[in-house]
Chain A
Amino acid sequence: EPEVTQTPSHQVTQMGQEVILRCVPISNHLYFYWYRQILGQKVEFLVSFYNNEISEKSEIFDDQFSVERPDGSNFTLKIRSTKLEDSAMYFCASNPDRNTEAFFGQGTRLTVV
């Protein structure tokens, strides 16, 4: 069964460093998303991406964040200068059209020290 894959599963980085979280969505999907879950808190929407541009973003998704689909298969989330409060589980998701459910990856646990 096709699935969304995320790498790495766990990343530790120093405060102020740039990180790139990688995702390979399901191949025929057109809509892509990033969500995050800070420990003990709700899963929160960050951004949606369609047709090579951001279609919706939350107030969390500030200038420190960017997304890219560099090669037609990968979908990346970049955090330019990480802060301690960026420590969270980051989930990538995709769906074939906006009216179907999103399929989620297993997540990348980001720890900023």
Chain B
Amino acid sequence: AQSVTQLGSHVSVSEGALVLLRCNYSSSVPPYLFWYVQYPNQGLQLLLKYTSAATLVKGINGFEAEFKKSETSFHLTKPSAHMSDAAEYFCAARQGGSEKLVFGKGTKLTVNP
């Protein structure tokens, strides 16, 4: 069964620093991959998605993610963190033929001034 692993339940960066949130998936067949963000007291908002068209995917708010099949990874990056990026980030995968999303445990990002 598909599983998604997010390394690091908490990541803390300084404002202006690089943000790197890690995500690995388990399937031998690359799934559709997504990053969602959850701000306090809000729902899950899609940041970006990989659907096999391009390995480097750009999303909203300056985030991007690179799909690496050899590493079964889909890490999320942003060159320069902003205070407003503080939130919880979830990586999710959906296998072709299934409708369900399989989520990682989430990474809480703190941005320090």
A-side interface residues toward B, CB under 8 Å? 4, 31, 33, 35, 41-45, 48, 50, 55-56, 58, 91, 93, 98-99, 101-107
Do residues B44 and A56 form an inter-chain contact, with CB atoms below 8 A? Answer: no
Give the A-B contact count at a CB cut-off of 8 A. Answer: 49
B-side interface residues toward A, CB under 8 Å? 34, 36, 41-46, 49, 51, 90, 92, 98-106
Do residues B100 and A105 form an inter-chain contact, with CB atoms below 8 A? Answer: no
In angstroms, how far is the closest chain A Cβ from the Cβ of B108? 11
With A45-B102, A48-B99, A91-B44 known, 12 other A-B pairs at CB within 8 A are A42-B103, A43-B44, A43-B103, A44-B103, A56-B100, A98-B99, A101-B46, A101-B49, A102-B101, A103-B46, A105-B43, A106-B41
Contact of B100 among A4, A48, A50 (CB under 8 A): A48
B4 nearest CB neighbor, chain A only: A42
Do residues B43 and A58 form an inter-chain contact, with CB atoms below 8 A? Answer: no
In angstroms, how far is the closest chain B Cβ from the Cβ of A107? 6
In angstroms, how far is the closest chain A Cβ from the Cβ of B24? 14
Provide the residues of chain B in CB contact with A4, threshold 8 Å.
Answer: 43
A106 to B45 CA separation, bound complex (whole angstroms): 9
Provide the residues of chain B in CB contact with A107, threshold 8 Å.
Answer: 43
Do residues B101 and A35 form an inter-chain contact, with CB atoms below 8 A? Answer: yes
A45 nearest CB neighbor, chain B only: B100
Q: A55-B99, A101-B34, A101-B49 are in contact. Are A42 and B106 (CB under 8 A)?
A: yes
Do residues B43 and A42 form an inter-chain contact, with CB atoms below 8 A? Answer: no
Do residues A104 and B36 form an inter-chain contact, with CB atoms below 8 A? Answer: yes
Please name 16 pairs of A and B residues whose Cβ atoms are closer than 8 Å in the assembled complex, sorted by A.
A35-B101, A42-B105, A43-B90, A43-B106, A45-B100, A48-B99, A48-B100, A56-B99, A56-B100, A91-B43, A93-B44, A101-B46, A102-B101, A104-B43, A104-B44, A104-B45
In angstroms, how far is the closest chain B Cβ from the Cβ of A69? 16
A44 to B2 CA separation, bound complex (whole angstroms): 13
A98 to B106 CA separation, bound complex (whole angstroms): 24
A51 to B74 CA separation, bound complex (whole angstroms): 33
